[in-house]
Amino acid sequence: MTLKSVDVILKRLAERPAELAAARAAGAKVVGFQGYSLPEELIHALGLIPLRIGLGGSDRLVELGGRYISTKNCVYVRETVGLFADDTDPYINNSDIFAFDATCLQTFRTAEVVQYYFKKNVLIVGVPRNFYLEEAETYFTAELRHFVSRLEEFAGAKLSFEKLADSIALYDQIRDEILAIYEYQATARPLISWEEVFDVIQAGYVLDRRDYLGLLQALHDELAAGQGAAVIAGADDEARIFISGSVIPPGDKKLISIIDQLGGRVVGDDLWSGLIPYVEVDIKEPTIAAVAWAYLHRTPHGALPYLDLATDGRIARLKSLIGKFKANGVIYHTLRYCDPYTFKAKETKDILENIGIPLLELHTEYAGSDVEAIRTRVEAFIEMIKLKTETGVAA
């Protein structure tokens, strides 16, 4: 049974395209964006409506996008381009300007293609390759200042200290609510599954951010009031799965459905499209420099090169989240031509195996042709984890 507050979130999601069209007709301006290092707070503080764009799971849109961008790009990037070519996505069609960052260079390429072929107004934020150098902070702060100045021209308004402080406070509250709900789903008798929380997080990509905070608070209250009343169907604590790797955007249900159908219980993730953007974002004051610092000091994205595994923040975060959510196996999902995450699969597997956490690597795309092969491998992995949990020894 779906929770009442989750039903309300899904209903608000269905209403959102019409609401956006009405807001634009009344003069509001919308920024469609894609990228891990794009601080939404800056867009929001200028009175603009931020929408995180992009879908997955459609072979048709991937094929369409592949007519404009090389087929050696990942399917997520090709589907994003396909969305522009298709010209029916309500969030793309309701955006007045687009912002992309260069965290993943394929996203940067998407921006160029969108600008060239579809004549969209596009802003690009440069991202340093090594976040830990002093120069990286100087460079990224300058990039964000430039980004804000372009948005100010577009908005016809100046970024103020007070408005930025309000937006940061709002986003801090959203992050706190998401973290609380997320931690709750991993407990022993939750009323909400990880899959539902994942959908709730992704609903937040397009909903009005102040409304979204209220919806999250209502969900949090409903969970607190009903604690212990029931358990989610099929919740099986013997195979607690953590998902890592390439993005799983809205619309891509292939892997999640297979795990669910096979009785695995997902309890955590470190996906760009899941929990990770909300973890430990510490904006110390309402200035562009402080926003830049906070975004550089979050968990690093897998697309950024980092050679010293002993001090790699991505690996450290992965290990700490696996421990926190008591996962006993990792499914590491990579999209074909997602080179950043594919190259990191082996090192991630080796590191986790050293601490007794098995990792299953699945390399896939949006076509349905490999569903049965994935099902067989996930089934064997879940069985192995269950056996290990029951007996305490590796199968």
Could you say which residues in the range 168-207 bind ligand SF4, by CB under 6 A?
none
Residue written as tokens 């950043």?
340
Contact flags string 129-158 toward ligand SF4, x per CB under 6 A: ------------------------------
Q: What's the closest the beta carbon of residue 295 comes to ligand SF4, in angstroms?
A: 17
Q: What b/e string do you get for 319-333 counting C-beta neighbours within 10 Å, with b at 16 or more?
A: eebbeebebbbbbbb
52-91 footprint of ligand SF4 as x/- string (CB under 6 A): ----------------------x-xx--------------
If one asks whether residue 246 binds ligand SF4 (CB under 6 A), the answer comes out as yes
Residue window 286-315: x/- pattern of binding to ligand SF4, with contact defined by CB under 6 A: -----------------x------------
Site for ligand SF4, residues 96 to 115, rule: CB under 6 A: 104, 106-107
Residue 33 contacts ligand SF4 per CB under 6 A:
no
- Inter-residue long-range contacts of 175-183, CB under 8 Å, 24+ positions, other chains counted: 175/278, 175/281, 177/213, 177/216, 177/217, 177/219, 177/220, 178/204, 178/216, 178/275, 178/278, 179/275, 179/278, 179/279, 180/220, 181/216, 181/219, 181/220, 181/223, 182/268, 182/275, 182/278, 183/324
# residues contacting ligand SF4 (CB under 6 A): 13
Residues 313, 161: Cα–Cα separation, whole Å:
31
Shortest reach from residue 58's CB to ligand SF4, in Å: 15
Reading the block at residue 220, the tokens are: 């949090």
Report in angstroms how near the CB of residue 365 gets to ligand SF4 at its nearest: 11
- Beta carbon of residue 125, minimum distance to ligand SF4 (angstroms, whole number): 15
Kindly tell me which of 16 and 301 has the beta carbon lying closer to ligand SF4.
301
3-state helix, strand, coil in the chain (%, to 5): 55, 10, 35
Q: Sheet of 359-364: strands edge to edge?
A: 265-269, 240-245, 329-335, 359-364
SS3 readout for 49-64: EEEECCCCCCHHHHHH
Tell me the C-alpha distance between 69 and 55, whole Å.
16
Judged by CB under 6 A, the residue of 43, 64, 102, 335 near ligand SF4 is 335
Q: Residue 112 CB, nearest distance to ligand SF4 (Å)?
A: 14
Position among 213, 244, 340, 360 found at the interface with ligand SF4 (CB under 6 A): 340
Contact between 341 and ligand SF4 by CB under 6 A: the answer reads yes
CA 244 to chain centre: 11
> Taking the complex as a whole, how short is the minimal distance between the CB of residue 275 and ligand SF4, in angstroms?
16
Binding site for ligand SF4 (CB under 6 A): 74, 76-77, 104, 106-107, 246-247, 303, 335, 338, 340-341
